[in-house]
Chain A
Amino acid sequence: MTIVVHGRDQTRREVDVNTRDSLMLQLRPLKVGVIGVCGGNAVCGTCHVTVRPDQWDLLEPIDEYEEEMLETLPDRQPNSRLACQIVYTPALDGLELTVATRI
């Protein structure tokens, strides 16, 4: 299973994901800008990514805690998500994410 990550450093990487951990936990060792200061509680916004628009519907809907956090992000886009709230499932094979600019 592979997802594609466009890092803050303009790199494109194909990343093997195999577990059911959140994408935040799986992406943060790559050091491409997904950090997760709050450890996956959806309260810090440091794992902000955008999802390729045509893949949006593959993801579980945004819950109210993620929504509350996203609302506070000045650079939120219509396709913004928190990577800590995306649990990897086989249906997400080929998912393409772009790490949001950190302000």
Chain B
Amino acid sequence: MESLRENGFEGALTVVDADPELPYDRPPLSKEFLTGVFDEDDFRLWSADRITELRVELRLSTRAVGLDTARRRVAVRSAADGADELAYDRLVLATGVAPRRPAAFVGLDGVHTLRSLADARALRDALRTKPGPVVVVGGGFIGGEVATSAAEQGLDVTIVEGGGNLLPSVLTPGLSRPLERLHEASGVRVICGRTVAALHGQGSVESVELADGTRLPGGIVVLGLGGAPETGWLDRSGLQLSDGVHTDEGLRTRAEGVYAIGDIARRRDSATGALVRLQHWTSAHRQAAHVARDLLGTTVPYRDVPFIWTDQHGTRLQIAGVTYGDEVRFVDGGPDTEAYLALVRRGPDLAGVIALGRMREFQKMRRLLSDPPRWQSVVAGTPDLDTLGAQA
């Protein structure tokens, strides 16, 4: 919306959002907001005044429930205004993901997921008022950050991750080990390779039962099990759906004038031909800017080197490009050090950079990824280190 108005778009703009809140940024919800560094106003994207200035019609607490691409209509529904239909010339789908919450884990108080500001308020209040202990189910980005925030507030915290290591979707065991030690040094227990079978309690959760029968006491349970794309409302739209909305390289869906961006977009990557869905904040921004340009008729090829970061116990993990390639090599540090810089090879080229506690070095290497150099030219001159495969 900002880009469109800034570049002179004069037409009507409408935003439909199921959330009742004025739009806000999500990265602080698992970090600075939980620990009290930020107030809600610190990470609002738009004030009410700004929305007026932009001449955007913002329909909050309103859910999109259906799409008719032939008639170019979106069906919406809200508790206050009931059902309505909105006509469009161009439509951008950005409904994001909903946190996974297995049916077995529903029904007890004290069990949290974290996606919205309302979720974060509830979790923040629980961390302030309840004694814990805290059990975080899932050792991904949200899990690690929530564990960090809870430990900072003096709570007893355990992370349970079903995979073999923390952040299994992006890190190999050797890359994850320093992160696991970091949690343990900060008082967080890390249990990997075991899944949660059941939650127990009278009304409110009291313990967590693992698949091997172990019971962990838990007054606050946080489910960090990833999210599923919110595409149910598009089931009868005729769009191609499977783990998101399929788009071409330029984020266009198969329906005329309809784009998908952010967590729900499963975009055709021109380099590999694969459909890729990224849940990165930085990619969502880049995609929004790309579509805004496209809507204004100044299309340029979409380019993005994926970039994510997470802050855990005062140390920053940064990842750019791909994480699982054909080879991962440490160029500084390793599985047994506190900090490291590692490179990822795909085919003959450098394809990814991963750093823990090495921000400056990371930025230097990340720069190379916009025009990937040959692997040999990058690793030549670095000591002949064992590759990760040999150490993990």
Known: A72-B289, A103-B50. A44 touches B25 (CB 8 A): yes
Interface string of A29-42 (1 = CB under 8 A from B): 10000010111010
Evaluate contact between B363 and A63: CB separation under 8 angstroms.
yes
Known: A35-B38, A43-B282. A74 touches B28 (CB 8 A): no
Kindly identify, within residues 1 to 58 of chain B, every residue whose CB is under 8 Å from any CB belonging to chain A. Answer: 2, 6, 25, 27-28, 31-32, 37-38, 42-43, 50
Chain A residues within 8 Å of B363, by CB: 63, 65
Closest to A38 in B: B27
Evaluate contact between B43 and A37: CB separation under 8 angstroms.
yes
**Chain A nearest Cβ from B282, distance in angstroms:** 6
A57 on the B face (CB < 8 A): no
Evaluate contact between A35 and B43: CB separation under 8 angstroms.
yes
B367 on the A face (CB < 8 A): yes
Evaluate contact between A35 and B289: CB separation under 8 angstroms.
no
Q: How many of chain A's residues have a CB under 8 angstroms from any CB in B?
A: 16
**Chain B nearest Cβ from A7, distance in angstroms:** 14
B311 on the A face (CB < 8 A): yes
Interface string of A13-41 (1 = CB under 8 A from B): 00000000000000011000001011101
**Chain A nearest Cβ from B308, distance in angstroms:** 10
Closest to B53 in A: A103
Chain A residues within 8 Å of B318, by CB: 41
Alpha-carbon gap, A72 to B318, bound state (A): 22
Evaluate contact between A37 and B25: CB separation under 8 angstroms.
yes
Chain A residues within 8 Å of B2, by CB: 74, 103
Chain A residues within 8 Å of B43, by CB: 35, 37, 46
**Chain A nearest Cβ from B365, distance in angstroms:** 13
**Chain A nearest Cβ from B302, distance in angstroms:** 15
Interface string of A44-73 (1 = CB under 8 A from B): 101000000000000000011100000010
**Chain A nearest Cβ from B26, distance in angstroms:** 9
Chain A residues within 8 Å of B316, by CB: 39
B105 on the A face (CB < 8 A): no
Chain B residues within 8 Å of A63, by CB: 363
B309 on the A face (CB < 8 A): yes
Chain B residues within 8 Å of A37, by CB: 25, 27-28, 42-43
Evaluate contact between A39 and B42: CB separation under 8 angstroms.
no
Q: Which of B37, B42, B43, B367 has the most CB of A within 10 A?
A: B42
Alpha-carbon gap, A28 to B36, bound state (A): 12
Chain A residues within 8 Å of B311, by CB: 39
Chain A residues within 8 Å of B309, by CB: 38-39, 41
Q: Which listed residue, A35, A39, A103, touches B31 by the CB 8 Å rule?
A: A39
Chain B residues within 8 Å of A29, by CB: 37
Chain B residues within 8 Å of A65, by CB: 363
Closest to A39 in B: B311
Evaluate contact between B367 and A64: CB separation under 8 angstroms.
yes
Kindly identify, within residues 287 to 319 of chain B, every residue whose CB is under 8 Å from any CB belonging to chain A. Answer: 289, 307, 309, 311, 316, 318
**Chain A nearest Cβ from B56, distance in angstroms:** 13
Known: A39-B311, A74-B6. A28 touches B37 (CB 8 A): yes
**Chain A nearest Cβ from B32, distance in angstroms:** 8
Chain A residues within 8 Å of B50, by CB: 103
Chain A residues within 8 Å of B281, by CB: 38, 43
**Chain B nearest Cβ from A53, distance in angstroms:** 26
Could you list 11 A-B pairs, sorted by A, with CB under 8 Å?
A: A35-B38, A35-B42, A37-B25, A38-B281, A38-B309, A39-B309, A39-B316, A41-B318, A43-B282, A46-B43, A64-B367
Interface contacts beyond A35-B43, A38-B309: sample of 8 additional A-B pairs, CB < 8 Å, sorted by A: A35-B38, A39-B27, A39-B311, A41-B309, A41-B318, A43-B285, A43-B307, A46-B43
Which 7 pairs from chain A and chain B are nearest by CB? A37-B25, A35-B42, A37-B43, A41-B309, A39-B311, A43-B282, A74-B6
Please report A residues at the B interface, Cβ cutoff 8 Å: 28-29, 35, 37-39, 41, 43-44, 46, 63-65, 72, 74, 103
